Amino acid sequence: MRQQRAELYLILGALTAFAPLSIDMYLPALPTLERAFAASTDAVQRTLASFFLGFALGQATYGPVADRFGRKPPLYFGLGLFVAASVGCALAPSVEALTVLRFVQAVGACSGMVIARAMVRDLFDPQDAARVYSSLMLVTGVAPILAPIAGGVVLARLGWAAIFWTLALLGVAALVATHLRLPESHRGDPSQPLALGRSLVAYGRILRDRRFVGYAAGGGVAMAGMFAYIAGSPFVFIDLHGVAAADYGWLFGLNAMGFVVAAQVNGRLLPRGAHDRALRVAGLVQAAAVVLLVAMAVTGSGGLAGLVVPIFVYVAALGFIMPNAAALAMAPYGRAAGVASALLGTLQFSLAAVASTAVGLLHDGTALPMAATMATCGLLALLANRILVGRAA
């Protein structure tokens, strides 16, 4: 039984890892892509924003389909689409083509996150779900630690296109594992809405739940701050502070490690019923970190370390915010877990697309656009939790 559970965690974690792998593995290549396609920093950063947008919109589709037909059929489709789009990215002739293909790649990749999260809700009660989400983050947390390091090595030895060939191979491996070892947790429910109008009604019903919106928006805005860091850090670390592309991965991985450790503390040590309190405390810590980050960016105090320390605190706090926000938002929606999971992801990655686009549009040759966007996200997350969840309690 323990071995089966470990295998389940590993496969579900791998499915949710396609997002961080697809995002983080090519980050060291962003400055290289500028030169390869003779493109601006803003144009290259749009390849990241388009991924977030595709990830957001795609999730809205998979939720109703997974509730109607079961978890595995849409997962097969999504993983196949991911593999095909990854091959297309490797062969992209221009930054515009890469931007479109990254959108398609994200539509495929998001199937793993939506369905893995719904399967956790299928198999575990709401209290245990927060702990399982934290356990999954141990698996998925390895991806942002290793992905930019691996991406830097692949970039140095084989070039940027090899990064996408690697992602395609990983997609094939996930397809095989899903078919052979992942059990179906929900056989499908013909009564669940599939037509667009009925799906919108289902989404509207959940959006009228103030607590769901509070947890989803608060967690989503906080996560958007991390994606502002992801979008801005290659320029800030590599171009502005002279960090080598291969070394960037280690610096990025340090912050990801803080997230993983915090998520495990949350899952293993957090008492039952303490999820709301942990969410609020982590939000306060995160808000304090971004205020310090903006001060460091404006004054230049502390150099690179002055930026890395508050970013580390911000990302680590997400290890408490994300699993608790997801578990608390989805707790009332056992029968419609696919729809709730899709809506949660759509809100989160729509906000991520806005944040990463903002960093590109505000680009001025300093660290301030990244820091200011992260600060806005951190403070809005705190307000969303206090105003929406607080009043609904």
State the pLDDT confidence band at 134, using cuts at 50, 70 and 90: low
Residue 215, in any domain of the structure = yes
Cβ partners under 8 Å of residue 279, min gap 6: 215, 218, 320, 321, 324, 325, 328, 385
Model pLDDT for residues 313-368, shown as the tens digit of each residue: 999 998 888 888 887 887 777 666 667 777 787 788 788 888 888 888 888 888 89
Which residues, in sequence order, are CB contacts of 74 under 8 Å at separation 6+? 62, 65, 66, 111, 115
**What is the domain-level CATH number for residue 231?**
1.20.1250.20
234-270: pLDDT as tens digits: 888 988 888 887 788 888 888 878 887 887 787 666 6
Per-residue pLDDT, 313: 93
Residue 140 has a pLDDT of 63
* Cα gap 132→135, rounded to integer Å: 5
pLDDT at position 209, please? Answer: 79
* Amino acid 57: pLDDT: 85
- Classify residue 273: in a domain, yes or no: yes
Whether 185 shows a pLDDT value over 80: the answer reads: no
Alpha carbons 332 and 41: distance in angstroms, whole number: 43
**Residue positions counted in the chain:** 393
Question: DSSP letter string over 55-79?
Answer: HHHHHHHHHHHHHHH-SHHHHHHHH
For residue 241, tell me if it sits in a domain.
Answer: yes
Say if residue 30's pLDDT is above 60. yes
- Does residue 187 fall inside a structural domain? no
Q: What is the mean pLDDT of the chain?
A: 83
**Which secondary-structure segment (H or E) carries 324?**
helix 303-330
65 within a domain of the structure (yes/no): yes
Q: Which residue has the higher pLDDT, 50 or 8?
A: 50
Q: Is residue 191 part of a domain?
A: no
Q: Is position 188 within any domain?
A: no
The tokens for 271 are 């008492």
Predicted local distance difference test score (pLDDT) of residue 50: 92
User: Do the Cβ atoms of 78 and 62 come closer than 8 Å?
Assistant: yes
Mapping DSSP to helix (H, G, I), strand (E, B) and coil, where does residue 242 land? coil
Q: Is residue 386 part of a domain?
A: yes
Higher pLDDT, 200 or 376: 376
Domain range for 210: 2-179+199-392
Task: Please tell me the number of Cα atoms within 13 Å of 4 on its side-chain side.
Answer: 3
Give the Cβ contact number of residue 284 at 10 Å: 14
Residue type, 304: L
pLDDT digits (tens, 9 = 90+) for 264-295: 787 666 666 577 788 888 889 999 999 999 99
CA angle 223, 224, 227 (to 5 degrees): 95
**How many structural domains is the chain composed of?**
1
Closest CA to 148 of 20, 28, 229: 28
Q: At what angle do helices 95-123 and 72-90 cross, to 10 degrees?
A: 160
345-357: b (≥16 Cβ within 10 Å) or e: bbbbbbbbbbbbb
